Structure 1
């Protein structure tokens, strides 16, 4: 997920150049309206790029189906940050952009039929309930989010740089504490949910470091979440661990192997006209024991 956000940041810098946004290449051309002549049109093209990248097909959505709301939250954080860099008709909320570009453009009506209660991109965005939030406040989450993305993208499980991960984790937690102590953010459930999403993905990053055998993992700083929102254990960057996949694969192989032996013996005895019920029962018990050993 994070690599896509960092790719957009590289090709569509999150800063003004000569008081305007600039595309570095033609990556976003297919998402433009009126050739992206204005900054708002460029931002809309970037937003559509994200939506298409993560939700453009059922195959893409399947990769993120357990955490797609977290990804939508991050898209809105990016959108708010970019809008906050320019002047628009209603610069304190997403409402103007929503009315003109999301609600008023056919590109956001791209049909989808694989997300529950959503028939297009617009309805996906509606599910976030973030369109009336203050873009200045949402923008405050951007630096922490980008740092977390850089931490994930720079992670190497085969050759971990644990000291670097610790330094980045310390910086992230400091940014998180600043957000958590901001009176314009705390106490509001919508913003608390964003804090929750960040903290969950941070904890998942720590788990990656732990699995990579970082000896300094106990020194990684903890973060405290607000009690008003229950955080999910599943963040935006969670994928099944290789050990989990391996265990499941071994279980399948053992079961199929045992079944093959069972069928082979059964076939042998049937050829010779013997009925060995006790032998079959014994093999069934062996299969059960194999399952138990694998699960434990």
Structure 2
């Protein structure tokens, strides 16, 4: 069984963060491990409280995982502050972690801010260089590239701008675009580069809480299983689409996905 570690925040309502990651990893037949960076009081209508975990305790969790059950892939989600980011980076380098997928979580689906202002630079300089793939959505990509994204052409330009200071692969998710829901993947490896578009359709489902967490975790599972980045992304997108098309409807706001749709509905 492949082992996948999620480093992220806890969502008490179960739709995003650590809880979504565990469900996704199990749905992919892998063994889920977690390092919790922050506790959130949230539900489908918003984020109502955040309690940081001490960075020393984050390091303690990481040491326990890597010393005993070494992960085949690592997904990183909500990290919240610079101290935690630097602790994660230090431990990942120490243990030479591989197949690292970084979802640069900055804003929740419900609109709550999930990354403090002083942490964006640490994310860029300490954590991004360790990632094999980053998976920003449009608002996150805008923060990383420094300009507004309104079209597919802007997505390509943004990826290439981010690539000036980041050597890994970049998946910009196009769900926020008006014209389409296409995703753009810029693969960067030593001596190799490729640009791939993944066509997407607008699924008529207002319940999208945790889609980014779910996608990045699914990609990590596929990388752990031995897939190359393009295949890992394609399979993960298909999984997320299936979870959306199951049309689970829970809560009073943007509800969660049906992570177990393959197990419960065939």
Q: TM-score range by the shorter chain?
A: under 0.3
Higher-RCO chain (CA-CA 8 Å, sequence separation at least 6):
2
Question: TM-score under structure 2 normalisation?
Answer: 0.28
TM-score (norm: length of structure 1)? 0.25
Q: Relative to total residues, which structure has the larger strand share, 1 or 2?
A: 2
Which of the pair has more CA radius of gyration?
1
